[in-house]
Amino acid sequence: MTRLQTLFLTIFHFIASRWRWRILRGKRLRRYQEKRARRIVRYANTHSPFYRQHWASHNLDNWRSLPTVDKRLMMDNFDTFNTVGIKRDDAMEVTLHAERSRDFTPALGGYTVGLSSGTSGHRGIFLAGAWEQATWAGCILSRTLHNLRPRKLRVAFFLRSNSNLYEKIGGIFIKFRFFDLMLPLEQAIATLNTFKPHIVVGPPSLLGFLADAREHGTLAIHPERLVSVAEVLEPQDSARLTNVFNAPVHQIYQCTEGLLAISCSEGSLHIQEDLVVMQLEPIPNDSAPARRASPIVTDLWRTTQPIIRYRLNDVLRVSNERCDCGSPFRVIDAIEGRSDDILYFHANDGTDRPFFPDTIRRMVLLADPSIEDYYVIQERPGHLRIHLTLKPEASFTRVAAALTSTAQNTLAEYNCQPADLQIEEGLPTLPAGTKRRRVVRKNMGIQPQS
Where along the sequence are the contacts to Zn ion (CB under 5 A)?
A: 264, 266, 268, 323, 325, 327
> In angstroms, what is the minimal distance from the CB of 265 to Zn ion?
7
> In angstroms, what is the minimal distance from the CB of 332 to Zn ion?
11
Q: Find out whether 376 and 364 touch, Cβ atoms under 8 Å.
A: yes
Of 18 and 47, CB closest to Zn ion = 18
> In angstroms, what is the minimal distance from the CB of 263 to Zn ion?
8
> In angstroms, what is the minimal distance from the CB of 394 to Zn ion?
39
Of 181 and 323, CB closest to Zn ion = 323
Greatest Cα pair distance in the chain: 66
Distance CA 54, CA 310 (A): 13
Judged by DSSP in three states, 273 sits in coil
Of 310 and 329, CB closest to Zn ion = 329
Percentages helix, strand, coil for the chain (3-state, rounded to 5) are 35, 25, 40
Exposed, middle or buried: residue 132 (CB in 10 Å: 0-12, 13-18, 19+)? buried
Distance CA 395, CA 388 (A): 12
Q: In 28-152, where do the E strands start and end?
A: 112-115, 125-128
> In angstroms, what is the minimal distance from the CB of 185 to Zn ion?
34
> In angstroms, what is the minimal distance from the CB of 250 to Zn ion?
11
Of 254 and 319, CB closest to Zn ion = 319
Of 264 and 419, CB closest to Zn ion = 264
> In angstroms, what is the minimal distance from the CB of 236 to Zn ion?
23
Of 264 and 440, CB closest to Zn ion = 264
Of 145 and 325, CB closest to Zn ion = 325
Q: Which of 194, 262, 243, 1 is nearest to 111 (CA)?
A: 1
> In angstroms, what is the minimal distance from the CB of 403 to Zn ion?
37
> In angstroms, what is the minimal distance from the CB of 386 to Zn ion?
36
Distance CA 21, CA 293 (A): 25
Of 201 and 323, CB closest to Zn ion = 323
Helix (H) or strand (E) holding 252: strand 249-255
Of 128 and 264, CB closest to Zn ion = 264
Q: What is the DSSP string of 330-342?
A: -EEEEEEEEGGG-
Of 212 and 324, CB closest to Zn ion = 324
Cα 417 from chain centre: 33
Exposed, middle or buried: residue 333 (CB in 10 Å: 0-12, 13-18, 19+)? middle
A 10 A CB-CB count for 286 gives 16
DSSP code at position 57: T
Q: Which of 265, 319, 274, 310 is nearest to 292 (CA)?
A: 319
Please, which residues bridge with residue 384 across strands?
421
* 150-173 b/e (C-beta count within 10 Å ≥ 16 → b): eeebbbbbbbbbbbbbbbbbeeeb
Q: Which of 162, 151, 248 is nearest to 200 (CA)?
A: 248
> In angstroms, what is the minimal distance from the CB of 232 to Zn ion?
20
